[in-house]
Homo-oligomer: A and B are copies of this chain.
């Protein structure tokens, strides 16, 4: 069958299957969209970021980032202060509440992924990683 050997199809399908468990965690259990979750992760690792910087890192379109920031701000998980030198720019950083939320969610996410990959041998994991690295190099993500 055509699609079965077709790279974009294979990747999309595997991405969906792999994301099912983890999505359930941030969506259902913590009421976050994927952009919100990713913004949270990036802010947790960066002290403070502007919307543009988040667009690059997430990565996502600016409208998604903008709405994710607004939603997380409404939750009280982050605050924004406008840059003194360039008043178009706002620096977002997690509040204590946001940091705690991340620290609660992160291990749940890691556990879910580890549970999913539990049946894989170290050799399998190695092969998987190498395969993905091929593409990451291709896209300059490596």
Contact = CB atoms under 8 A, between A and B. Distances in A.
Interface of A: 1-3, 6-15, 17-19, 22, 38, 41-42, 44-45, 59, 106, 109, 113, 116-117, 119-120, 124-125, 127-132, 134-136, 138-139, 141
A123 to B, nearest CB: 9
Given A14-B132, A131-B132, A117 B3 contact: no
A130 B132 contact: no
Given A7-B113, A14-B141, A117-B138, 11 more contacts: A3-B38, A6-B113, A7-B128, A8-B113, A9-B38, A14-B132, A14-B135, A15-B15, A116-B138, A127-B131, A127-B134
A91 to B, nearest CB: 19
Contact of A3 (B41, B124, B139): B41
Nearest to A129: B131
A45 B15 CA distance: 24
Nearest to A38: B3
A61 to B, nearest CB: 11
Contacts of A6: 109, 113
